[in-house]
A and B are shown apart, each in its own frame.
Chain A
């Protein structure tokens, strides 16, 4: 499929990627079988509800991978990746809204319900084109990509880095949240976009569609992972690490640090957008809450818990934290924030390299005599 010597094929020759893809594909296949073949009621049966839940986790995992690409390898801690995720989600949501057609409560053939409710008589210009799937899917990439391009261009050009960059990414997502809360913005305000009916003609409530979305999320995660791995394993990936650890040195070697940062940042934002687009049809709603700074920081926690700078750690972190969240909020909701808060503290203080780092050091201890490998050198 891919030319064997292309930079994109490089990850397929890596052992770690092979293992990752193997485990992921096996898990996807297992869930599919347990859902379809094993009859409901059987203890091994995976309900469609669970499948959708897992699909949601997978889209979060893709978001975490996207964040790890910029944080782990480029040293840019974005506290606003939720913004890119949400933009991708809104692009998908707009497509799904247009697909409702005249089946809405007010039955308007063109205008979504909330616009009828607000007494708007025509579609705002930026809603045009979203009735076409190809356009909407393109926007899933372009909207977050463009925001990342403009924001990154301004920020990296003037060498805003470290803590400052983190704070203004947070301000960015906060500003967007406030903006999307406004009814005048034309994105449904508080309530966001919801009541979706179908995607590409498939009924969103049907079990088959839900399984399909789960598989699509898994596939997107696999592809996103491979893309990130390909970047990381290329010379550009090493330049990224160089930017992270010694920005000035990299510059004096003749690399345009701000362009490297911009490229990786935009790629990451687009991946986050895809994650958002997969998330929305599975949960059935997108609202400004996804822009909230807290969500973005939570994503950082997933990556930190899993171990930054490893990509697979981000996936582990996203799955573990979100599974814990589901369990906690079901059993003892008030305890969840304590657990989450405690997790933040424990991970940063006791597990700076995350689960992946823990696994690596365990392996080293087991192998013992092996030559000491130094720290990843990932300093913040």
Chain B
């Protein structure tokens, strides 16, 4: 028995097994910083000399026509895709290009996918439990027991995303909008510093959309939030600063009003908004 206990806690016995987590350093400005990032697939330049900075606690919306490189940008930040060149920094201390997805995730960057991805076979509660910030290595996970504190935290988030009634139901039977919220809830459990949210309101009803807007604006301040969205109405309702991507680089940046009056933007994006709506 002692042996098992010892093995279970060997990360505490051996220093080198303890996680090397250093806090994000934002004293020198932005929390996320992309410089001259480019990546191409089969000769197609998905991202082209992209420069982007996100400040700590900011809520930023990123818009752009299909193929502008929004999702690819998220892939680069979260370590799924490696750029051909350029640099990506999280705070002033962490070079994200040297890390893999779990490392980046445990630094405090959370990501919500375009298509809601939850663990459908697990209950809503279990989904949140897995997302909770914790030691995520094998032994600690195997021997983990849920503390009362953690339970409270999960219930708190359940309330925030309005799924308390569905606590013990499998995520698979939730509606589309509920899955989106559950996924946002999972991000909240991670206590991230930076939240990347890809098309959170796709396929939502008006009411659901409103609820989501509330959720996201409520988050800003404590966390930095980057929202990629197609729905102009939704962007207008939450955005403080908007960045327009076009052909893999930044076309314009500013408040929604500034951006929507920019002739370049009107030409490439807003002018064809009706087409985009059809596509979507």
Task: Please say whether the chains A and B touch (CB closer than 8 A).
Answer: yes
- CB B31 to nearest CB in A, in angstroms, measures 18
User: A8 near B4 (CB under 8 angstroms)?
Assistant: yes
**A6 interface residue, CB < 8 Å from B?**
yes
CB nearest neighbor in A for B1: A3
- CB A68 to nearest CB in B, in angstroms, measures 15
A235 touching B144 in the complex, CB below 8 Å, given contacts A252-B78, A254-B190, A375-B172: yes
- CB B184 to nearest CB in A, in angstroms, measures 13
The one of B102, B119, B170 that contacts A251, using a Cβ cutoff of 8 Å = B102
**B205 interface residue, CB < 8 Å from A?**
no
CB nearest neighbor in B for A3: B1
A241 touching B101 in the complex, CB below 8 Å, given contacts A235-B141, A248-B117, A256-B136: no
- CB A75 to nearest CB in B, in angstroms, measures 10
The one of A249, A256, A378 that contacts B113, using a Cβ cutoff of 8 Å = A249
Write the A242-282 contact mask toward B (1 if CB under 8 angstroms, else 0): 10111011111111110110010000000000000000000
CB nearest neighbor in A for B107: A254
- B1 contacts across to A, CB distance below 8 A: 2-3, 6
Interface of A is mostly: helix
Complex Cα distance A256/B105, Å? 10
- B186 contacts across to A, CB distance below 8 A: 253
Complex Cα distance A259/B110, Å? 20
**B143 interface residue, CB < 8 Å from A?**
yes
Complex Cα distance A257/B130, Å? 13
The one of B121, B141, B145, B190 that contacts A376, using a Cβ cutoff of 8 Å = B121
B74-105, CB < 8 A from A: 78, 80, 101-102, 105
The one of B102, B106, B141, B170 that contacts A377, using a Cβ cutoff of 8 Å = B170
User: A254 near B105 (CB under 8 angstroms)?
Assistant: yes
**B129 interface residue, CB < 8 Å from A?**
yes
Complex Cα distance A71/B218, Å? 41
- B121 contacts across to A, CB distance below 8 A: 241, 244-245, 376-378
User: A251 near B130 (CB under 8 angstroms)?
Assistant: no
**B277 interface residue, CB < 8 Å from A?**
no
B124-139, CB < 8 A from A: 126, 129-131, 133, 136-138
- B122 contacts across to A, CB distance below 8 A: 238, 241-242
**B230 interface residue, CB < 8 Å from A?**
no
The one of A234, A246, A253 that contacts B142, using a Cβ cutoff of 8 Å = A234
User: B143 near A234 (CB under 8 angstroms)?
Assistant: yes
User: B141 near A236 (CB under 8 angstroms)?
Assistant: yes
A259 touching B138 in the complex, CB below 8 Å, given contacts A245-B119, A254-B105, A254-B106: yes
Complex Cα distance A377/B172, Å? 7
User: A249 near B119 (CB under 8 angstroms)?
Assistant: yes
**B70 interface residue, CB < 8 Å from A?**
no
User: A234 near B144 (CB under 8 angstroms)?
Assistant: yes
A246 touching B106 in the complex, CB below 8 Å, given contacts A234-B143, A236-B141, A374-B172: no
The one of B110, B120, B142 that contacts A245, using a Cβ cutoff of 8 Å = B120
Show 22 A/B contacts (Cβ-Cβ < 8 Å), sorted by A: A3-B1, A6-B1, A6-B143, A7-B145, A231-B142, A234-B143, A235-B130, A235-B144, A236-B141, A238-B129, A238-B130, A241-B122, A245-B120, A248-B101, A248-B113, A249-B119, A250-B119, A253-B136, A253-B186, A254-B105, A255-B141, A374-B120
Q: Which residues of B contact A (CB under 8 A)?
A: 1, 4, 78, 80, 101-102, 105-106, 110-111, 113, 117-122, 126, 129-131, 133, 136-138, 141-145, 170, 172-173, 186, 190
Nearest 6 interchain pairs by C-beta: A377-B121, A254-B105, A254-B106, A236-B142, A377-B120, A235-B144
